[in-house]
Every structure is written in C-alpha cells, then in structure tokens.
C-alpha cells in the first residue's frame, strides 16, 4: 500500500505521516527535491527514491509493504500512480486561520496576506501576480453576456477544470480528512477511527462493492419522490440492476408521468407509503427482478412477446410490472376498480388488453 498525502500548508500532512509511520509501520518515501529534510526535522526517517518514476517502480516491487509520501504534487504524478491497485490518495485540509497559526510556529512573522498568497499559489498553481493578469472566463461586454450580465449561450462559454495545484488533484482523492483538532493526540484518535491502512480501502468487500453499484444505479432514477437503486446478485455475480421510475414507454416521473409522485404539499401530496396503488413508478427492486427475466418474457414464442392471463383486470401496481416485463398482451376475466386507468397506461405503452368471458 502507498498512501499519498496532499493538502495546503499547515494542514497537518506531516502529522498524518508521523501517525502512519509510528503507529502502523509505514515507511516514509520522498523524492530528491521533495520533503526529506522537513520530515527528518520531525524525527521521521525518510527514504529517497530519486524521482516520482523511481518511487513508482520502488513501491511496485514491494506492493505488499506499507509506504506513505507527501511528494506526489502534480497531475502527471497522480495519473501514473492512480492506475495501481495499491494506491490511496488522502487529502488533509484545515480552516485557513488555523493553518496560518500553525504555520506561524515554523515561519515567524509571516503576515496573513502573504500566507493567503502562498496558499493560493499552492491551491491553483499560480502566483497572485499571475492570477491578477489571467483572463476571466466571461467578461462583461463579451458576446456570451447579455445586457443584464446573464450568460445568453452556455455553449459558447468554456469552463475548464483546474490543470495545476491542489485544485487539479482533488479528482484523485479517495479519503478527505478535516484536521481542525487542537493537538496531535486528538488528530491521532480520529485517524485511528478512520482505519486508513485497511485493505478494504484498496479493494472493497462484496457488500461495499454492490452497495456502491446500487448508488450508481440510483442516478438513473427519474422518480420525483426518492432515488433508489438495486442490484440482483447470485454467487457474487450480477444478474440484473434496477432503479425506480415509470415503466418503459410512459412519460418519466420527473416529466409528469406519475401524478402521485408529482403532487406537491399544496395539492395534497401523499406521504411515504401512502396511496401506492396510484403510483406508476416501479421500485428499484421490482425493476431488477423484472429485468432478470425480461429477455425470455419479451421475446416469447417466435419473437411475438408473451401473453398474461389473469382472472381479474390488473391494478396499476401490477400493470406497470407487466409493461416493464415486456408482455405484449393481457387477457382478463373479471373487472376491477381501476380498469379505465389500467387500460389507459396499457394503451400508452402499446400493450393490448381484452376481456374474455368464460362459459358458466
């Protein structure tokens, strides 16, 4: 494992490195132009690897051991290391005034304004002078601005991601630590609770893995009430995934497809779990179950799709499942209380429905 610590001046990166080295046996690595001297001043023995490429080779050959470094400070560094399965990037942050006061203990009489300038340079990869001469993204009077200062055409405005400094490195961060603790003992206690050396941070267990996939699936939800995702698994192999929202062929819930979910408090919105018989949204779990068998159901015999027979006209709750399963025809015997609404959504989704009277 290699933990890379990044953060602004005075945030406590060296204190975190000290904790990992003294409490968990991490070996501190640095580059020839890096933090070797400052770490030695803290009583830590640091191993110099030359440059970042040499450090990568060094750790790769010893991936089963524990290392920590403060010397990966560029995007190119991160791009090289982030691909490796033993790498963990930890950001250490702290309030500005707290960091300035800490910095004062090492660099006496540094005015706050100069510290802020230094902080900006490290954060954004440019000096205050460079920042003051940098062209803004959109200037007043430019073609992208309307007369009231509002952007008329967003497509004409180019907003790029940071390319230098700490701001550019945050996309690689796995763990963020806010170090506003008054002393090192308090910080160490917090670090112990995080269990940074855990191998699960590098390779999540199955429960963590599948729950994260659930969260990812939920981003596809269109339900106005709540985003939910589900993953159906057998022997740690994914069978299907699902998220909640209206069935295929109907308007999305967030486009007005489900009247129940779109009701506001002023219109007498349904509470959690209330009036579910009027909800057209499939639950994430239902979608996952339905998708697991959708291929067989939707193709059916000779690719014509399946037919469902039921002795009573389906309710809305069942109707949406029928639509999502790919069933093309429904045949029923007895009427039900919401037949008109069921037939309306079947018509919208292209499902044929007919009543058949059995001989008595």
Element (H, E) at 347: helix 339-349
Residues that are catalytic: 285
Tell me the C-alpha distance between 266 and 152, whole Å: 34
Q: Which two tokens stand for residue 161?
A: 């991601």
- List the one residue out of 127, 119, 122 whose CA is nearest residue 103: 119
β-bridge mates for residue 93, sequence order: 178
Q: Which two tokens stand for residue 66?
A: 């524990």
Task: Give the three-class secondary structure for 95.
Answer: coil
Sheet holding 352-355, edge to edge: 307-312, 329-334, 352-355
- List the one residue out of 180, 183, 176 whose CA is nearest residue 19: 183
How far from chain centre, in Å, is Cα 306? 38
- 289, HSE (Cβ side, Cα atoms, 13 Å): 7
Q: Which two tokens stand for residue 141?
A: 């009077």
Tell me the C-alpha distance between 89 and 49, whole Å: 19
């Amino acid at each position: 494992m290699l933990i890379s610590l990044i953060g602004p001046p005075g945030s406590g990166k060296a204190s975190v490195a000290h904790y990992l080295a003294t409490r968990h046996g991490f070996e501190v690595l640095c580059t020839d132009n890096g933090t070797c001297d400052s770490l030695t001043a803290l009583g830590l023995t640091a191993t110099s690897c030359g440059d970042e490429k040499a450090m990568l080779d060094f750790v790769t050959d010893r991936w089963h051991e524990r290392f920590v470094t403060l010397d990966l400070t560029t995007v190119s560094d991160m791009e090289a290391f982030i691909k490796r399965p033993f790498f963990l990037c930890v950001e250490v942050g702290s309030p500005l005034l707290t960091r300035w006061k800490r910095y004062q203990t090492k660099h006496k009489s540094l005015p706050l304004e100069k510290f802020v300038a230094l902080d900006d340079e490290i954060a954004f990869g440019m000096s205050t002078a460079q920042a003051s001469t940098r062209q803004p993204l959109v200037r007043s009077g430019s073609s992208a601005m309307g007369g009231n200062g509002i952007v008329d055409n967003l497509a004409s405005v180019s907003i790029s991601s940071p390319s230098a400094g700490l701001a550019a490195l945050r996309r690689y961060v796995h763990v963020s630590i806010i170090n506003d603790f008054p002393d090192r003992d308090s910080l160490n206690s917090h670090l112990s609770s995080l269990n940074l050396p855990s191998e699960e941070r590098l390779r999540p267990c199955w429960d963590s893995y599948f729950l994260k996939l659930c969260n990812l699936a939920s981003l596809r939800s269109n339900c106005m009430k709540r985003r939910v995702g589900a993953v159906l698994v057998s022997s740690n192999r994914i069978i299907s995934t699902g998220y909640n929202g209206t069935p295929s062929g109907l308007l999305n819930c967030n486009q007005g497809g489900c009247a129940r979910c779109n009701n506001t408090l002023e219109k007498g919105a349904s509470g959690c779990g209330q009036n579910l018989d009027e909800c057209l949204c499939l639950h994430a779990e239902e979608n996952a179950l339905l998708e697991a068998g959708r291929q067989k159901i939707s193709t059916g015999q000779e690719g014509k799709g399946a037919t469902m027979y039921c002795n009573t006209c389906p309710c809305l709750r069942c109707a949406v499942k029928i639509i999502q399963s790919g069933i093309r025809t429904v045949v029923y015997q007895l009427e039900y209380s919401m037949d008109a609404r069921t037939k309306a959504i079947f018509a919208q989704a292209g499902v044929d429905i007919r009543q058949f009277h059995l001989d008595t």
